[in-house]
Structure 1
Amino acid sequence: MHNLTELEVENLRHLIGGHGLIVKKLETYAQNCSDPELKTIFERDAQAAKQAEQQLMSFLG
């Protein structure tokens, strides 16, 4: 377990929430996109944001 201060935990939660919002936006953009190349970019970036979110969450556990 990591010994994080309350401020560090609060900052992590803020970052995690930001990544979650980015994931939702990128997934929505991908669903509404008619350009296959752009859709792929949105999907790839959404996946990268999910991975970053999960990595940040590992610091809380």
Structure 2
Amino acid sequence: MPHVTQMELNTLKELIATEDVNAKKFKLYAQNCSDSQLQNMLNQESQQAYNNVRTLMGFLVQ
């Protein structure tokens, strides 16, 4: 793993936590939504946020 400063590591952890919360919120909103078009959009946003979490986590293991 390339040298990462403590500040960069803290920022990365914060971004991961934020994206994880976003993914969970979008998923919850989708589950409680009655409009199928909006539900699909929220599910897509949730999936994108989970993808972002995986991408950001990848920076921790390089």
What TM-score does the superposition give when structure 1 sets the normalisation length? 0.96
Q: Following the alignment from structure 2 to structure 1, what is the Cα–Cα distance between the partners of residues 34 and 2?
A: 44
Question: 1:10-43, CA deviations, whole angstroms, 9 ceiling, x for partnerless residues?
Answer: 0000000000000110000000000000000000
Aligned-partner SS, 1:34: coil
How many aligned positions are there?
61
- Identity in percent: 36
Q: Following the alignment from structure 1 to structure 2, what is the Cα–Cα distance between the partners of residues 54 and 34?
A: 29
Residue in 2 aligned with 1:6? 6
Matches within 5 A, 1:1-61: 1-61=1-61
Q: Following the alignment from structure 1 to structure 2, what is the Cα–Cα distance between the partners of residues 41 and 19?
A: 17
The Cα of 1:3 is off from its aligned counterpart by 1.5
Question: Unpaired segments of 5 or more residues in structure 1?
Answer: none
Q: CA RMSD in A?
A: 0.6
